[in-house]
Amino acid sequence: MSSDYDEVCRLGRELSNWGRWGDDDEIGTLNLVDAAAIRRGAACVRDGVGFSLALPLGEGGPHTNSIPGRFNPHHYMTAIGLSVPASPFFHFSDDVVVLPLNAATQWDSLAHVHYEGRLYNGRVADEVLSVGGAARNGIDKQARHPFATRGVLVDVARSRGVDRLAAGTAVEPDEVDAVLAATGTAVESGDVLLVRTGHMRTFLVDADREAFNGPAPGLGLAMAPWLRAHDVAAVAADNVMVEVTPSEDGSTICPLHLVTIRDMGLLLGEMFDLEALASACAEAGRWEFQFVAPPLPFTGGISSPLNPLALL
């Protein structure tokens, strides 16, 4: 499939969710996380085991620190065992971080990307302010919705019998369908799709931040219609951008971001650590689970770090 910007525009119009949940909507496909989805998610909890899908937030994080605005969090102590003069028995510690909201495991909000001057649901891009950030579509809006539903893991690397996909490999709908069929899993409206490429091993096993942040396997642009047809609430992956980089046509930048976030109002989850979860799914022989992953309500925030849980 071509993925130049004409194709982005065409797909954007075709898959658009603008107006679907009202002209004032600021949460997009999170609307699909309804009572049925919340119950369906909870019903997946059988073994009572759970997994944190978050990378560490600290100097040991996944960023290379070479791009301004994208660095591993700085952590400073504001109290270390402090006491108060009147009460020397009591001691406390406190701390503060300087935290890029795109540090490590995160959701991109519906204000993260745009084209032709418009954000999701037709908001003008100028509503992302130099002071205050996203006046519309910010992560604080999405954080108010109870983001708990069923998650479905598509372990592409395991399905291919490889440690990880090569950089630049696009994951396409046929393969996703085949993996789902092989694992006997069906995706329903309001589910979240988690795609494992194995690219996370470049950071976690190889400790190679440069390579982890460089070209990577990920979703091809053809996944956009698939995600829309299945009405997933969000998609997350174990790489930096969710989508394949460089893009399939080699010239466009993040075409899947543009169509999913801006036109579909779909949240993208980046740098999710799926390693332990994938092993557990393979052992249990089921790839569905309760998935609880609310972002934090940063006012006007463009993204939010979080600690997503998968419960089997």
Give CA–CA dist 17/120, Å, rounded: 8
Structure letter (DSSP) for residue 22? -
Phi, psi of 267, rounded to the nearest 5 degrees: -80, 140
Q: Is 58 a binder of a copy of itself (CB under 8 A)?
A: yes
Among 130, 161, 283, 285, binds a copy of itself (CB under 8 A): 130
> Residue 129 in 3-state DSSP?
strand
Phi first, then psi, for residue 237 (nearest 5°) are: -145, 175
Rg (CA), the chain: 20
Q: Please give the residues from 227 up to 266 whose contact with a copy of itself meets the rule CB under 8 A.
A: 251-254, 257-258
Q: Which residue's CB is nearer to a copy of itself, number 139 or number 176?
A: 139
Residues 66-95 that bind a copy of itself (CB under 8 A): 66, 68-71, 73-82, 84, 87, 89-95
Question: Residues 253, 254, 256, 262: what is their CA dihedral angle, to the nearest 10 degrees?
Answer: -100
- Of 176 and 293, nearer to a copy of itself (C-beta) is 293
Residue pair 265/110 in contact (Cβ under 8 Å)? The answer is: yes
The residue to which tokens 């989850």 are assigned: 269
Candidates 14-22, 129-137, 161-169, 229-237 — which segment interacts with a copy of itself by CB under 8 A?
Answer: 129-137
Which residue stretch of 131-139, 171-179, 181-189, 213-221 sits at the interface with a copy of itself (rule: CB under 8 A)? 131-139
Which CB atom, from 33 or from 187, has the smaller least distance to a copy of itself?
33
Total interface residues for a copy of itself by CB under 8 A: 101
Q: Give residues 163-192 in contact with a copy of itself (rule: CB under 8 A).
A: none
C-alpha span between 295 and 250 (Å, rounded): 32
Determine if 98 is a binding residue for a copy of itself (CB under 8 A): yes
CA distance 212 to 222: 23
Options 1, 15, 21, 125; binder of a copy of itself; rule CB under 8 A: 125
Nearest distance, CB of residue 257 and a copy of itself, angstroms: 8
Residue 180 bridge partners (DSSP): none
* Binding pattern for the stretch 3-42 against a copy of itself, x by CB under 8 A and - elsewhere: --x--x-------------------------xxxxxx-xx
Examine residue 102 and tell whether it contacts a copy of itself (CB under 8 A): yes
Please tell me whether the peptide bond between 294 and the residue prior to it is cis, using omega within 30 degrees of 0. Answer: no
Choose the stretch contacting a copy of itself; rule: CB under 8 A; options: 15-23, 181-189, 222-230, 290-298.
290-298
Stretch of 136-144, 168-176, 195-203, 214-222 lying at the interface with a copy of itself (CB under 8 A):
136-144
- The length of the chain is 312
Tokens of 273: 């650590």
Q: Residues 22, 48, 161, 285: which binds a copy of itself (CB under 8 A)?
A: 48
Q: Is 2 a residue that touches a copy of itself (CB under 8 A)?
A: no
Tokens of residue 307, six digits: 């600690």
Decide if residue 285 touches a copy of itself (CB under 8 A): no
284 binds a copy of itself (CB under 8 A): no
* C-beta of residue 267 within 8 angstroms of C-beta of residue 301: no
Give how far the C-alpha of residue 27 lies from the chain's centroid of Cα atoms, to the nearest Å.
14
